[in-house]
């Protein structure tokens, strides 16, 4: 049975730590900072067996070099990006075997936030870095709206019950925007109440599920009439293609202030 723990880093990053019950080995996803990981491993008498990286931003891979000074382990990362500490490049369709935690993950190419961004899916869980956020999505730093829309559509096709682990605690701000786009969606309001309760107790709002994202995340709902009409009102143009609706919603969010 795979257990997943959060390690907080920087202002709002989560480093995910995967552990098989009763095993002394664990795997971390996107360790932007080594120190909190080393502290966790020491406090819990754990050893690192592997590192998974989703993309090249420093808040996701900046801690790898220091971790490698303590543990000589495979570092999986995107073949489409140059990250000097990655020693196992992977791309769409590749499988990552992690016998130490009894897990296998499939790699998906999900460009948009960065050009080589990847996700890891297996054991009913998804690690999607800065692509699919809870009720939101990552900014388009290197990719096109077409790429990001395609990447999100790919992730939305995973099973409804898939647990979604993204890398930042942006949920409340994303839900405020989702509510502005789709004020009549009552699920957004109830999700917001639940997320506020979690944050008041300093509990991560992550994971969610693909089902909940499809019901409340505007970036996965560009085919819905309510989102189309909100995007048309915002842009003052008629929009027929889902990707154009996505692009307008993304630009709207880029400039949205609470």
- Binding residues for Zn ion, rule: CB under 5 A, are 57, 130
Whether the upstream peptide bond of residue 207 has omega within 30° of 0, thus cis, is yes
Comparison of 133 and 177: residue with beta carbon closer to Zn ion:
133
Comparison of 57 and 228: residue with beta carbon closer to Zn ion:
57
Query: Whose CA is closest to 22, among 48, 51, 50, 45?
Result: 45
Cβ of residue 128: shortest distance to Zn ion, in angstroms? 11
CA distance 113 to 230: 24
Comparison of 13 and 185: residue with beta carbon closer to Zn ion:
13
Cβ of residue 240: shortest distance to Zn ion, in angstroms? 31
Cβ of residue 85: shortest distance to Zn ion, in angstroms? 16
Comparison of 96 and 137: residue with beta carbon closer to Zn ion:
137
Cβ of residue 142: shortest distance to Zn ion, in angstroms? 10
**CB burial of residue 217 (10 Å; 0-12, 13-18, 19+):** buried
Query: Whose CA is closest to 179, among 189, 171, 190, 194?
Result: 189
């Amino acid at each position: 049975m795979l257990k997943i723990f959060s390690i907080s880093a920087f202002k709002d990053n989560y480093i995910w730590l995967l552990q098989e019950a009763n095993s002394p080995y664990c795997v971390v996803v996107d360790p932007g900072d080594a120190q909190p990981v080393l502290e966790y491993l020491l406090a819990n008498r754990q050893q690192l067996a592997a590192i998974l990286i989703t993309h090249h931003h420093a808040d996701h891979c900046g801690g790898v070099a220091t971790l490698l000074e303590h543990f000589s382990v495979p570092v999986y990362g995107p073949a489409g990006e140059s990250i000097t500490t990655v020693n196992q490049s992977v791309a769409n369709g590749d499988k990552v075997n992690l016998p130490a935690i009894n897990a296998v993950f499939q790699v998906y190419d999900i460009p948009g936030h960065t050009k080589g961004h990847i996700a890891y899916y297996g054991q009913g869980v998804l690690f999607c870095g800065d692509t699919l956020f809870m009720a939101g999505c990552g900014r388009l730093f290197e990719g096109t709206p077409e790429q990001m829309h395609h990447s999100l559509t790919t992730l939305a096709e995973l099973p409804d019950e898939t647990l979604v682990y993204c890398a930042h605690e942006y949920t409340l701000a994303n839900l405020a925007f989702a509510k502005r786009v789709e004020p009549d969606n009552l699920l957004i309001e109830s999700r917001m109440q639940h997320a506020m309760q979690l944050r008041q107790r300093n509990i991560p709002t992550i994971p969610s599920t693909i089902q909940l994202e499809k019901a409340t995340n505007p970036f996965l709902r560009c085919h819905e009439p309510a989102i189309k009409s909100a995007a048309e009102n915002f842009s003052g143009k008629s929009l027929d293609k889902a990707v154009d609706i996505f692009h307008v919603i993304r630009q709207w969010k880029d400039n949205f202030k609470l």
